[in-house]
Amino acid sequence: MAKGLDKHMERKSIVTSFGKDLARRSKSTCELCGTKNVKLSVYEVPPVEEEPVFENCLFLCDDCIKILNNIKKSQENELRFLGDSMWSEVPLVKATSIYVLEQIKDRYHWANEMLENAYLDEETLEILGRIK
């Protein structure tokens, strides 16, 4: 049991150490909704690798983390920010936004319209394939 706890704490320490670089990349704003001046946390986009990888992490507010952890329970107006984040220059942000839009496209017509206008380069498609 102690080994499992030690491994968990080590992983958490590594993920937390990404915070400074993620804050720099995101300019200390939530990478999905763009909210400023709120607590931001490192979020590992599933599937989570055995060893933490910076490129698989986002810097998100608590509201966005809650949405990603339960997309089906999210409300329509809580997700409108995806129209902006789907154009992010950060491939993981873009892919995550597209992924969420794909999950909600049958519930909200505007999500399907956004997907029709999305530009997906090879890197984004590769990340999107991994997320699914």
- Could you read off the pLDDT tens digit of each residue along the chain, which spans 132 residues? 577 777 778 878 888 889 899 999 999 999 999 999 999 999 999 988 888 889 999 999 999 999 999 998 888 888 999 999 999 999 999 999 999 999 999 999 999 999 999 999 999 999 999 997
Distance between CA atoms of 16 and 75, rounded to whole angstroms?
A: 29
For residue 50, what pLDDT is reported?
82
